[in-house]
Amino acid sequence: MPGSPERARRQVREVVFVDGVRTPFGKAGPTGMYAETRADDLVVKCIRELVRRNPSLPPDRVDDVAIAATTQTGDQGLTIGRMAALLSGLPSSVPGYAIDRMCAGAMTAVTATAAAIGVGAYEIAIAGGVEHMGHHPMGEGVDPNPRIVAERLVDPSALVMGQTAENLHDRFPGLTKQRADAFAVTSQARLAEAYRRGVIQRDLVPVATRSAEAGWGLATRDEPPRPGTTVADLASLKTPFRPHGRVTAGNSAGLNDGATACLLAAEDTAVALGLTTKMRLVSFAFAGVEPEVMGVGPVPATEKALAKAGLSMTDIGLIEINEAFAVQVLAFLEHFGIADEDPRVNPYGGAIALGHPLASSGVRLMTQLATAFAERPEVRYGITTMCIGIGMGGTVIWENPHHADYSRDHTHEESK
C-alpha cells in the first residue's frame, strides 16, 4: 500500500540485442565522402533505420537514447543522444543523453542502457555512437592538465595513440612489424570476402552525401578498404610515430567518419512485442591499464568479464576485437594462446580494413558478432572487446540464441 515501509522489490531481467545498423564508414578529411555531411545526421539515419526495420516496436516505448561521441562539440555536441532522438522523429517523450569513453563510447552506451534494463528501470533503449573525425580531429580542443606530465602520472606518449602502439611493440618484441603487417593483410582479405558474400551490406544504412563540387551522392559501401593488399605493399610504408618504427597506416585503423546504433530490450519485452533476439548479454567489464600501453586493455577486461560469467576463453567461439592497431590485437591473442590467423577472430575483417570512427565502433563489433552467430549456430558464446585511450579496455560477452542449449536453458528457467 502507499507509504508502506516494506522495501520496494525489483527483478533482474535478461537483456537482448535486438538489432544493429551502421552507416558505411568514410575516410576523414576534405576528400572523404562525408566531408560535407553533418555528424548528427549520420546517427539520425541509423536510428530511423532501426525503427523502420522493427515495425512492431512502438516508438514511444523507447525509454532512452544513449549516443556516444569522443569530441562532444559542434555537430557532435548539445547532448547528442537527445538531439538525435528528436531529429529522428521519436516522440518528444523519449529522452536521450551523451557518453564519452573515447573508442569505447558506443560500447559504454550499450552497457549503460543494458544495465538499466537489467534492473528494471528501462524496457527498451537505443544505444550507439558517432565520430566525424573530418570535422573533429581526435584531441580537438582538449587541454590536458599539466600535472599529467609534470608529476609523471603517465608518460607523455600516452596522449598519442600511435605512440602507445609503438610502446606495445617495445614491451612485447615478439610482436614484430612483420606479424602486424600479416595480420593487417588478413583483415583486408576477410573483409573483401565478406563483401563478396553480401555479409557486410546487411547492416549498412545508405546515406545521401553532398559535395559542393561533385553534387549529390549515395554512400552504400565503406570507403577505407583496400582489397588485394599484400605484405609487400605494407613493408615500405612510413612509420609516422617513430623513426624506423613498426606502426604504419597499413597496420592501423585510419581516421574515419561514421555512426552506429542498436536496439536493446528486456528479453520478455522483446518476446511480447515480436522483436528478434540476435544476442543475449551475459556479462561485461571495463579495466584500466597503464595509459602508455593502452592497447593491452582488452586482456584484463576480458579476464574480468569471463570471471564474472563463470566462463573461460575455451568457451568463447567467436571474437570481435577492434583493430585500432594490429599490435594490440596480437598482444591479446598472444596472451590467450590464440593463433594470429585463428578463424574465430574477426571473421569478416576489422577496423584496419573498415575504419574506426572512434566512439561508434563498439556497436559495429556487435553487429558483426550477431551476424557471425547466425552463421555459426554451433558457437554458444562470443565476445566484443576493444582497447580504449588513456589506458583502458572493455569487453562484453554475448550468448548465441541460435545455439541449441540457448532455447533448452531458457525453457528450463521459465518452468521453474
The pLDDT tens digits for 147-167 are 987 888 888 888 899 999 999
Q: Active-site residue among 103, 135, 169, 262?
A: 103
Q: Active-site residue among 132, 387, 402, 403?
A: 387
Range with lowest mean pLDDT among 4-8, 76-80, 168-172: 4-8
217-255: pLDDT as tens digits: 999 999 999 999 999 999 999 999 999 999 999 999 999
81-91: pLDDT as tens digits: 999 999 999 99
113 close to 64: Cβ distance less than 8 angstroms: yes
Question: Quick one: which of 265, 261, 301, 269 has its CA closest to 280?
Answer: 265
Over 80: is that where the pLDDT of 6 sits?
no
Residue 154 has what pLDDT? 86
pTM, two decimals, is 0.95
- What is the band of 412 on the pLDDT scale with cuts at 50, 70, 90? very low
Q: Mean pLDDT in the chain?
A: 95
Residue 148 has what pLDDT? 84
Rounded CA-CA distance 334/84 in Å is 40
- What is the band of 10 on the pLDDT scale with cuts at 50, 70, 90? confident
Rounded CA-CA distance 103/359 in Å is 5
Over 60: is that where the pLDDT of 302 sits?
yes
Over 70: is that where the pLDDT of 5 sits?
no
356 classed as catalytic:
yes
- Give the Cβ contact number of residue 166 at 10 Å: 20
Residue 48: which CATH number? Answer: 3.40.47.10
Beta bridge partners of 261: 21, 128
Q: How many separate domains does the chain show?
A: 1
198 within some domain: yes
3 within some domain: no
413 within some domain: no
**Lookup: cell for 27:** 575516410
Task: Check residues 319 and 410 and name the one with the higher pLDDT.
Answer: 319
395 within some domain: yes
Rounded CA-CA distance 60/118 in Å is 20
Burial of 238 (0-12, 13-18, 19+ CB in 10 A): exposed
Owning domain of residue 268: 15-134+154-400
The answer for residues whose C-beta is within 8 angstroms of residue 354's C-beta and 6 or more apart is: 25, 191, 222, 224, 225, 253, 364
Burial of 5 (0-12, 13-18, 19+ CB in 10 A): exposed
Mean pLDDT of 59-66: 98
Residue 152 has what pLDDT? 82
410 within some domain: no
Long-range Cβ pairs for the range 72-75 (8 Å, 24+): 72/98, 72/100, 73/136, 73/140, 73/141, 74/39, 74/135, 74/136, 75/38, 75/39, 75/40, 75/41, 75/132, 75/135
Question: Quick one: which of 399, 372, 386 has its CA closest to 315?
Answer: 399
Q: Active-site residue among 136, 169, 356, 403?
A: 356
Is residue 125 classed as helix, strand or coil in its secondary structure? strand
140 within some domain: no
Burial of 38 (0-12, 13-18, 19+ CB in 10 A): middle
Over 60: is that where the pLDDT of 414 sits?
no
Beta bridge partners of 264: 17, 125
